[in-house]
Structure 1
Amino acid sequence: MPFSLLKYGLSSEYPAEVDLPAPKDLKPSYDVVIIGGGGHGLATAYYLSKYHGVTNVAVLEKSYLGGGNTARNTAVIRSNYLTSEGVKFYAESVRMFKELSNEFDFNIMYSERGQLTLAHTDATVRAFRQRAEVNKHFGGRTEMIDRQQIRELVPTLNMDPGHLPVLAGLWHIDGATARHDAVAWGYAKQAAKRGVEIHQLTEVQDFVVENGRIKAVKTNRGTVQCGCAVQAIAGASSLLMNKLGIRAPIHTYPLQAMVTQPFKPFLDPLVSSSALHCYVQQTGRGEVVIGGGSDPYPLYNTRSTLELKEGLLAHAIEMFPFLANARLMRQWAGMTDMTPDYSPIMGRSPIDNYYLDAGWGTWGFKSTPICGKTMAELVASGGKTPALIAPFALERFSTFQQVNEMGATAASH
């Protein structure tokens, strides 16, 4: 084996393949400029090149590839939402996630483990029954389970935490996880193979707008003309929209999470409780990931706080008491761009050739494949909105047709 490795290392064919081409200068113009080199921006570029033959595309990322919210989430994939529009959209995303490793020829470490959401009150049980039926009707695999089934599923769970005994659970069979950086790199690698240019350390600073259309994008590396532009920058969405005078009801809040030292496997499903404002999962490496709701105040920052850590850990210990002896390894935060109805904004903007992929809050990672595919279809068609994302248009806030997903998260905001 050592001889084989040495022979491979000294071979003229090594390395056999690189994931991304070497950095290059920006071209003077592109058909499409995608702002944001996270999962959504890279997925849009990939589907534009693969399904629509649009390859004169530049993805502009102000930092490193997938270094924003894509790298700062807890990688949960699910479709157990509240509305018919939400369930249909996310169920299609789950279906696409299952095939990504084969499509990329790149392992995204997709792991279907199921998600268990705990009900602590009669009102929550009633709400979960309705939610289960909506999910079943629109393609999700979700069902109600009782206390005994929960004990069998998660033997280490404390069924009677404090004054909030567990009454029942919403069991979402399709709940899964994947490597967030692998998803970003898989899309980047395949998009680059098809001619898409990916420019890291390239920050969009302003725009040139003429006659109600984007003519050019100004960056720290120069100005590039474009046929159209797509915004996919998550937590900083409202900052860029403000430069163009686009009004949207988006407020950005920090969202924190943390991870413990590794343990031998004891928890396969993802377990969450909106009453305790906490969710817990165990990674393939044995670490326990603990997360909860967003901070209660707006902030464009990804700092961590002792106050949030103490609160989250107290609730995690109520669910799994033995975690009181666990050592915390690290803590991090992302920026969640929240809308009033807790649903994203996808589609056209008041500027003809500027498209919005924003307002994701805590839903962004799990929507990556289907958002990229539908946004690519929107761009390639010149602005014809696909039916699947039509309910998520910006104008729904002025026509009072919100898609209310408040309470659909694993931990209440």
Structure 2
Amino acid sequence: MPFALLRYGLSKGHRPFRDIPATPDLKRSYDVVIIGGGGHGLAAAWYLSNQHGIRSVAVLEKGYLAGGNTARNTTTIRSNYLTSESIRFYREAVSLYESMSEDLGFNVMFSQRGQLTLAHSDATMRSFHLRAEMGKLAGARIEVVDAQTVRELCPHLHMDEGGLHEVLGGLWHADGGTARHDAVAWGYARGAAAKGVEIHQRTTVTAIRSTGDRVTEIETNRGTIRAGQVIQATGGLNGQVAELAGIRLPIRCFPLQAMVTQPLKPFLDILLSSANLHTYLVQSSRGEIVIGGGSDPYQLASTRSSFDQKVHLAQGALHLFPFLHNVKLLRQWAGITDMTPDYSPIMGASPLSNYWLDAGWGTWGFKATPVAGKYMAECVATGKVPDIIAPFALTRFDRFALLNEMGATAASH
């Protein structure tokens, strides 16, 4: 260890550096108020201040910074979706993740290792060919691979030859990867704060007042403020917060659980998933095996975990890698997925002219963080909805222009 670093660490007189300034007093008004201090809200604040020069911005977070779904996911990043609109959108998200550490000057630990989704039937293989062709048209690196290539990509995998879940092939998505969820949030928060954005933790929105078709005031537990424009990005609480503004969203909430094992020597270089087993796995940089699956089959706005889901996830993981049978679990957690009828998000304009929606992400929220922040900021700065997010408008439900992404997740729903 260099002596200068040791001397600095032992010094009693040095001043600690704060990435995020302490929560300030609320001002009477702001040009933009962002409700929700998770990844999406912080990304929007960074793009507003960094690309559009809008710095009178307040981010209101009812808990602690990025303590909601941003801290309760499995950090998967990918763009192998079903519809052309979604593939195009998430392909840009992947591109933004690729340059995020450099753009923010903050290491988000992006690791682009590729994702392999297993096929256990001929029908799944046929559907994978469609997804691969759709992805290629949007510029994503997606291809169908045979069983031998699956073995080469994941040599420790149990192929279950002749069994119920025999692996016939897979969908290889070379763009797939992971990033450190808290680093993403803190990188955006630090960058936005450096530009003058105020981040208000422990600030709960209790009422949203409007006159005509415009929001005029937002009432919080720390005071009332006026807002020129408002962005709502509150994860599993999107339905409740929208109701404060008099907006009813077609959203239902379901728990989404995951768990992690003790650290092991590296053996899983890729992201691996099986829709048949409703299980996906990825090994973290610390050696832990992160195990996730589909949403619970009942509505509940809660982040509690359950023993039944632990058993289910363990069974899927053990089928794929039987040698994990003596590995200990370290922890289990859950997030709240705000699901729409077509499993696609709601972005852009609302019935109120200065109130913008970033909601309905279901299980896709973390991977969309940078691209959602970028285009929500553009909505506010220009007053217009960019073409790339126009298909995700709330009004699509009135027009029957749904974007069906059911089954696009690696673990199905």
| TM-score range normalised by the length of the shorter chain | over 0.9
Which amino acid in the other structure matches residue 40 of structure 2? H
CA distance in 2, matches of 1:347, 1:23: 28
Note the residue ranges of structure 1 that are not aligned, 5 or more in a row: none
Which amino acid in the other structure matches residue 386 of structure 1? P
Structure 1 equivalent of residue 368 of structure 2: 367
Q: Could you list the per-position Cα deviations for residues 347-406 of structure 1 after superposition, in whole angstroms to 9, with x for gaps in the alignment?
A: 010111110000000000001111100000001112x10000000000001100011111
Structure 2 equivalent of residue 169 of structure 1: 170
Correspondences of 1:7-406 after superposition (within 5 Å)? 7-9=7-9, 10=11, 14-15=15-16, 17-160=17-160, 162-382=163-383, 384-406=384-406
CA distance in 2, matches of 1:381, 1:397: 25
Which amino acid in the other structure matches residue 86 of structure 1? S
CA distance in 2, matches of 1:2, 1:288: 34
CA distance in 2, matches of 1:20, 1:256: 30
Partner SS state of residue 253, structure 1 = strand
Which amino acid in the other structure matches residue 199 of structure 1? H
Which amino acid in the other structure matches residue 201 of structure 1? R
Is the 8 Å Cα contact of residues 87 and 139 (structure 1) preserved in structure 2? Answer: no
Q: 4+ runs of 1 displaced by more than 6 Å? A: none
Q: Count matched residues.
A: 411
Which amino acid in the other structure matches residue 114 of structure 1? G
CA distance in 1, matches of 2:187, 2:139: 27
Aligned-CA RMSD value: 1.2
CA distance in 1, matches of 2:244, 2:123: 44
Is the 8 Å Cα contact of residues 79 and 140 (structure 1) preserved in structure 2? Answer: yes
CA distance in 1, matches of 2:326, 2:242: 46
Is the 8 Å Cα contact of residues 279 and 293 (structure 2) preserved in structure 1? Answer: yes
Q: Could you list the per-position Cα deviations for residues 110-165 of structure 1 after superposition, in whole angstroms to 9, with x for gaps in the alignment?
A: 00110000011111110000100000110110001100011111111111174121
The alignment-based identity, stated in percent, is: 62
Which amino acid in the other structure matches residue 215 of structure 1? T
Partner SS state of residue 143, structure 2 = strand
Q: Could you list the per-position Cα deviations for residues 318-338 of structure 1 after superposition, in whole angstroms to 9, with x for gaps in the alignment?
A: 111111111111000000000
Is the 8 Å Cα contact of residues 209 and 245 (structure 2) preserved in structure 1? Answer: no
Partner SS state of residue 64, structure 1 = coil
Note the residue ranges of structure 2 that are not aligned, 5 or more in a row: none
> Normalising to structure 1: TM-score of the pair?
0.97
CA distance in 2, matches of 1:280, 1:233: 27
Which amino acid in the other structure matches residue 400 of structure 2? F
